[in-house]
Each structure stands twice: as structure tokens, then as C-alpha cells.
Amino acid sequence: MEATRLDLGTLRHMFVYSDWGNAAVLSAAEKLGDEQLDRDVQTGPGTLRRILIHTYNGELVWLWRWRQETETRWPDESARTGVAQLREALAAVARGREEFFAGLDPARLGAEQVYRDSKGKLFRAPLGEMVVQCLVHSIHHRAQATNAIRRVGGVGPELDYMMRIRVPGS
């Protein structure tokens, strides 16, 4: 497989958007009650709370893989973790990600990395593509979360990239 040419600055910029999107989803979710967070929404992991937990777990697991840390199992998704706790947990992952990127030689983005998934299966992939997978995984699940928020009667956030960067004209 031919690796895509990736730029560390662009990837970091995309994580700024990703963190903004996570914050917007969590802000909408924190206005909901436990019944709404735990209602089966017939998509993804099943409930809004589980979608949010899964989004966090994905970001955590990909960080472990980038750092080539041992992943013994996929983190538990059955807990009734609160929105505030998820906000703190995602912030901790973002700090870990920034520490990783701060010490990263950009040339490593194209280097093949070996990791084992939570089932012990061995994989190889360019580091940059692994970073892109983390971004795409989170975008996918934020879309599920937004849909779930609307399904349980909440107001889903507008997550379009342009909503974050554009300014009204005069």
C-alpha cells in the first residue's frame, strides 16, 4: 500500500477541529438527562452515552498504538460515565496527543509502525495513516452522537468544519 503524504501541521490542525467537535457534542449531551443518554437510539453502540464512551475509547486506543504501548483489551464501554467525566477524559487524551506530536519527527508519519489490537492481532500501517484513522473514527461517531442527540429530543450541534472557521461578512 502506498502511503499518503501527510503533513504534521495539517493533522494537528484537524485535531483542533476534532476537539472543537467533541466539545460541541458534549455541550449538547450535558443538557440531557440520564434517561435520554441511556435510551436505545438504534445506531452505533446503541445509546448516546455508549457512543460518547466509544468515541473517547477510540481516541485513547489510537494514542496507545501511536506510542506503541501495550493494548491488552478494548476499554470497557458499559459504565455509566457522566458527560463531565468524558470531557475530562477526552481533554487528557488531547494533552497526551499534543505531547506525542510535540516530540514527533514529521518524517515518522510515513514510517511503518507495528501494533497489536485488543484481540492480540498484529497489524502494520504507516503512522500518519493511523493518525488519520483516529480522526475519521471520531468524525464518524460524532455524527452518530449528533443524530442520537436529536433522536432523544435534544438539540444536536452543527459540526460542519466551516461553522468553526467562518466569520460573518459585514
Is residue 2 over pLDDT 60?
A: no
Mean pLDDT confidence for 3-11: 83
pLDDT computed for residue 1 by the predictor: 47
What is the per-residue pLDDT for 136?
Answer: 96
Domain range annotation of the chain: 8-161
Q: Which fold has domain 8-161?
A: Four Helix Bundle (Hemerythrin (Met), subunit A) (1.20.120)
Q: What is the mean pLDDT of residues 60-69?
A: 94
**pLDDT digits over 105-155, tens only?**
999 999 999 998 888 899 999 999 999 999 999 999 999 999 999 999 999
pLDDT digits 0-9 by tens, 76-110: 888 899 999 999 999 999 999 999 999 999 999 99
DSSP sequence for 35-82: HHHTSB-SSTTSBHHHHHHHHHHHHHHHHHHHTT----SPPP--S---
Q: What is the mean pLDDT of residues 66-77?
A: 87
pLDDT of residue 4: 62
User: CB-side exposure of 68: number of CA atoms within 13 Å?
Assistant: 7
Cβ-based neighbours of 115, under 8 Å, separated by 6 or more = 65, 68, 71, 122, 123, 125, 130
- Give yes or no for a contact between 62 and 30, defined as CB atoms under 8 angstroms apart: no
* Burial of residue 101 (number of CB atoms within 10 Å: 0-12, 13-18, 19+): middle
**Is-contact 108 67, C-beta < 8 A?**
no
What confidence category does residue 165 fall into, taking pLDDT thresholds of 50, 70 and 90?
A: confident
Q: What local confidence, expressed as pLDDT, does residue 38 receive?
A: 97
State pLDDT tens for residues 25-50.
999 999 999 999 999 999 889 999 99
